[in-house]
Amino acid sequence: MAGKLELLLLDDEPIVGKRLKPALAKIGCNVEVFEDPKQALDRIHQKTFDIVVTDIRMDEIDGLEILEHVLRKSPRTKVIMITGYAMMAVAREAMEKGAYDFISKPFTPDDLRKVIAMAAQALGSPIDSETADPEEPSEPAETR
Amino acid sequence: MPVVTLSSDSHPLGREIAVRAATALGYDCVDREILKAVAERHDVPETDLHKALDESPSPFGISSKNHARYLAYIEEAALAVLLKDNVVCRGLAAHLYVRGISHVLKIRILADPQKLAGEISSGRTLSFEKASALLKRREGFRRRWSLAAYRVDETDPSVYDMVISLTRIDPDEAVKTIVETTGYRKFKPMTYSLKCLKDKALASRVRVTLMEQFPDVTVQADGSSVVVQTKALEREKQKRTEVIKKLAGEFPEVAAVEVQILPDIFRKAAESFR
């Protein structure tokens, strides 16, 4: 891989960013974590990310709006939606709007790393999702 | 690519469209031919599996217990097929139990009722009016059957992603429409939908195993955890929980088993009258 993957992670639950940032850094991602969707949007307008991972259900701005903003600015960016309130209709809406993937919580850091590895492959910058610490706990990133 | 379930009010027409759509998509078409293998696996008559899909339980036919058991076997087999991807599945009632999964495209094909009644009346020396009445009764039966077996009304259009009436659309156009629709992004498989399908498949396998001893059992899976629900008397609770945990725990994919025992009020009442 030429350089690190630029990844923005947005979730209004602080525990998610706290747990996932080190897990994603281990597979070669340069991770910026946001809890406030407005601040995340400002950053998205300043910088082009390779991958955006966003929660769907958040106050004021939801993940589907983030998805639209990201793809308007950078159609090549892979947007991965995460939610604790997964339902078929939302999943279909996200995919229709251009999401790369959709994951329901709870998930393990390894689950997300696998999806990010696939996104990196699709971007032409393959990474090894197996490079994570085998001692790392595999319990879910959060419950809901 | 999404997988397709196709149901129809006419078996021959449903089969024709399913085969043609599968060919156009480069998919396998899975139909009732898999029932032979299901029958052999569970050592039950293949004809009874067909009957379970077409008939309701009755004192002169299949018992309620066997009806539920046979449908569970069919469901287990159909879900295993759908997990393989690139499949058009027809004739196995999959549209009734594969619900809420975004990459499963559910299609209903409705035959032209005039044409269908005409075909029935010419083949059976029935008048056209009687054939039309027969079709109405058949529709009512399918509605009752699907509600009894899966609590879903098969004749309700909201069950499907697409309903194609062949009164106005010809079969070629129907096939073309199905093929085009599979290309829509909203039906693309994703981590979440694939997990949902895997969960359903695992739950159905565990249920089939437990049903031999606990016919009323319901099972839900979430990753490597399964939740089993059954009815029992208070004194049976501990033993039943142990047996269920042991049986479900034998599946390599299962790491945790939660057993929820609901009070069996009918048996409790029956015992209190003894």
A contacts of B101 (beta carbons < 8 Å)? 88
B186 touches chain A (CB under 8 A): yes
A contacts of B190 (beta carbons < 8 Å)? 91, 95, 99, 101-103
CA distance A59 to chain B (A): 23
B141 touches chain A (CB under 8 A): no
CB–CB of B234/B248 below 8 Å? Answer: no
Task: Name all domains of chain B by residue range, CATH numbers in brackets.
Answer: 3-187 (3.40.50.300), 191-272 (3.30.300)
B window 94-113, beta carbon within 8 A of A? 100-102
* C-alpha distances out from residue B274 to A25, B148, B231, B268, Å: 68, 32, 20, 10
Q: What are phi and psi of B198, to 5 degrees?
A: -60, -40
- Whole-number pLDDT of residue B14: 94
A101 touches chain B (CB under 8 A): yes
- Whole-number pLDDT of residue A13: 92
* pTM metric for this prediction: 0.89
Locate B209 and state its tokens: 């195993």
Locate B235 and state its tokens: 């004194």
B191 touches chain A (CB under 8 A): yes
CB–CB of A77/A88 below 8 Å? Answer: no
- Whole-number pLDDT of residue A128: 77
Among B186, B191, B195, beta carbon nearest to A92 = B186
- Residue A116: Cβ within 10 Å count: 27
- Whole-number pLDDT of residue A144: 40
Residues 6 or more apart in contact with residue B154 via CB below 8 angstroms: B7, B95, B96, B142, B143, B145, B146
Instruction: List the single best residue of A78, A93, A97, A104 to mutate versus B (max B Cβ within 10 A).
Output: A104
CB–CB of A12/A36 below 8 Å? Answer: yes
Instruction: List the single best residue of A67, A87, A92 to mutate versus B (max B Cβ within 10 A).
Output: A92
What is the residue whose two structure tokens read 């790392």?
A136
CB–CB of A20/A112 below 8 Å? Answer: yes
CB–CB of B57/B64 below 8 Å? Answer: yes
CB–CB of A69/A44 below 8 Å? Answer: yes
- Whole-number pLDDT of residue A2: 55
A29 pLDDT more than 50: yes
Q: Where are the alpha helices (DSSP H) in chain B?
A: 11-25, 35-42, 46-54, 64-83, 94-97, 113-124, 128-150, 171-182, 191-211, 237-249, 265-272
CB–CB of B247/B266 below 8 Å? Answer: no
Q: What are phi and psi of B133, to 5 degrees?
A: -65, -35
The domain spans of chain A are 5-126
Edge to edge, what strands does the sheet with B256-263 contain? B218-222, B225-232, B256-263
3-state percent helix, strand, coil for chain A, nearest multiple of 5: 40, 20, 40
- Whole-number pLDDT of residue B71: 97
* B223 Rama sector, left if φ>0, alpha if ψ -120 to 50, beta otherwise: left
Q: What is the DSSP string of B112-164?
A: -HHHHHHHHHHHHT--HHHHHHHHHHHHHHHHHHHHHHHS--TT-GGGSSEEE
The rounded distance, in Å, linking the Cα atoms of A67 and A81 is 8
B185 touches chain A (CB under 8 A): yes
CB–CB of B197/B83 below 8 Å? Answer: yes
Planar angle of CA B31, B35, B41, nearest 5 degrees: 145
Kindly give the parts of chain B with pLDDT less than 70. Answer: 123-124, 274
- Whole-number pLDDT of residue A139: 53
Residues 6 or more apart in contact with residue B46 via CB below 8 angstroms: B35, B36, B38, B39
A95 touches chain B (CB under 8 A): yes
CA A43 to chain centre: 15
- What whole-number percentage of chain A has pLDDT above 90? 76
| Mean of all residue pLDDT scores within chain A | 89
- What whole-number percentage of chain A has pLDDT above 70? 88
Closest among A15, A56, A63, A22 to A41, alpha carbons compared: A63
Residues B16-48 as b or e (16 or more Cβ within 10 Å = b): bbbbbbbeebebebbbbebbeebbeebebeeeb
> According to CATH, what is the number of the domain A5-126?
3.40.50.2300
A18 pLDDT more than 70: yes
Among A87, A95, A115, beta carbon nearest to B186 = A95
Partner residues linked to B110 by β-bridges: B165
* Beta pairing class for A78-83 and B225-232: unpaired
* C-alpha distances out from residue B84 to A48, B27, B80, Å: 37, 11, 7
Instruction: List the single best residue of B191, B193, B195, B196 to mutate versus A (max A Cβ within 10 A).
Output: B191
Whether B191 and A101 lie within 8 Å, measured CB to CB: yes
Closest among B261, B58, B183, B3 to A95, alpha carbons compared: B183
The pLDDT tens digits of the residues spanning A71-110 come to 999 999 999 999 998 899 999 999 999 999 999 998 999 9
